[in-house]
Amino acid sequence: MNLRTLIKDMEINEITGSADVEVAGIAYDSRKVKAGDVFVAAKGEKYDGHDFFSDVVKKGAVAIVHEKAVSSQYLPQFPISKEGSEGGVVFISVSDSREALAYLSNTFYERPSDKLTVVGITGTNGKTTATYLIKSILEAWGKDVGLIGTITYLVKDRHYDAPHTTPEALEFQAVLNEMVSAGCSHVVTEVSSHALAQKRVDYTSFSVAVFTNLTRDHLDFHITMEEYFRAKERLFKELLLKDGTSVINFDDPYGRRLISELKTLQQGAANLRDSKTENVMTYGIEAGADIVAVNIKNSFDGLLFDINFNGRTYNIQSPLIGIYNVYNILSAVAAAVSLNVPWDIIISGIKNMGSVRGRFEKINLGQNFLCIVDYAHTEDALERLICAARELIHQSPKSRITHHTPRIITVFGCGGDRDRGKRPRMATIATKLSDYVLITSDNPRSEEPMEIIKEIEKGAVRMNYTIEPDREKAIQKAVETAAEGDILLIAGKGHEDYQEIKGLRHKFSDREIAEKSIKKKVNIGR
């Protein structure tokens, strides 16, 4: 693609050099630059792309997009591209490198989202399960569906590792383009607050935007809940197609705020005939939502409930467990309704979707207690998880319990180099709602595990806990402690198959450790 064509409608402050050159690709990581690439210099968490101009020029970059001012005395160090001659570099000054990266990526891959129906899901909790539910419904409808999320990226039958919940703009548009080539008609993607703040999904055409909830998380990045919310709302206010639908949790305080702000925006834009905010569909358990769940029955076998919508009642059955999964199902139903999926297909898609890896995932190896692995790593998610377990214990048949009152045993830790404020809060939740807690390490990253644990311990409200910094030993102790009828919750890492310590990722799976420990216990019992 010609550079002049690539940057045709991009907001540019200044161009130094001739844009009449051919572009082979785009890169934002100086280590990955190849001959013929456009290099977009942006500031990352650890490095700043503006510091690597010499490296990318040596590798054959034909253009450098930058937001920091480049001194005129600095430019002579590089061969500037000139009209009618080969070689040289074009310097393109922009106000926002990340927005430029999103624009260039979308244009380079020929605007793939315009050829797809894209459903974006944002919120603190529930995104992953909601994406799989929507995917299941759309596939029951006979559609080829791509998925981008925390666990994996799915392009029909092809699986890719997911280094980020939402990839960088370049990879995001590349995956969308691959989905178009593979024949996908629909894409369901998690949209993280980081991605929205860093404009990774800008210039994507979203047909449906889903808001699950907003609770404390990622404040190491966003600093305040207000900034966290402002990042989330971009999906609805700036990126949703004018005729797209906003699907919002009516029961969540931030959801109601978003609904109010969209209505205000609609009134202000009425004279401009902007229909972006006209299509808002709400869901919840409280009266007042468009789609309401009633008659909820939660058991070890799953969920049964009714949905009231437009004066009609629909019966829902799902193998998922817990009230929080009622909300996930409702969000998926609302998204499907907005896409005009028939109700019989919606009901079938929900019923046939199995468990999601690391999301209230049961480990059943014949033991006489229930073991659950879950990704809960925020205070709200942990509370939902423990409350779901408490519901199940209350519903346990008396005949199952032969010698003691069933307990909830919770294993959890907190990640290093992340929001420190949630650490004591999670301890408060765990010790208050569980019968016994093992506080351990999660992904300590660059921090010392015991220093993290000391901060967690400050929030304990009862002395019903044990500290075991070695996560493997903590899980082993929890399994050894679990008795008949108990529910053991291993929270925090879910689907992750590694533990990050001092910058290195070591192979580690909560599920594998739990399975190994349970097998040992069951065999000894025999």
| Listed range (242-246, 334-338, 391-395) with the worst mean pLDDT | 391-395
Residue 157: what pLDDT?
Answer: 78
Confidence class of residue 168 from pLDDT cuts 50, 70 and 90? very high
Confidence class of residue 354 from pLDDT cuts 50, 70 and 90? confident
Residue 443: what pLDDT?
Answer: 93
Tokens linked to 143: 């559609």
| Listed range (246-260, 269-283, 296-310) with the worst mean pLDDT | 269-283
Residue 222: what pLDDT?
Answer: 58
Spatial CB neighbours of 203, under 8 Å, sequence gap ≥ 6: 102, 103, 105, 106, 111
Q: What is the Cα–Cα distance from 317 to 306, expressed in whole angstroms?
A: 9
Show the domains of the chain with their CATH numbers. 3-105 (3.40.1390.10), 111-351 (3.40.1190.10), 361-525 (3.90.190.20)
Q: What is the DSSP letter of 308?
A: E
Confidence class of residue 517 from pLDDT cuts 50, 70 and 90? very high
- Top-confidence range, 142-156, 355-369, 449-463: 449-463
Confidence class of residue 158 from pLDDT cuts 50, 70 and 90? confident
Confidence class of residue 349 from pLDDT cuts 50, 70 and 90? very high
Residue 273: what pLDDT?
Answer: 41
| Mean pLDDT calculated for residue range 43-67 | 91
Q: What is the pLDDT of residues 210-269, one digit of tens each?
A: 999 998 666 666 578 889 899 999 999 999 999 999 999 999 999 999 999 998 887 766
Spatial CB neighbours of 166, under 8 Å, sequence gap ≥ 6: 148, 172, 189, 190, 191, 192, 194, 195, 200, 201
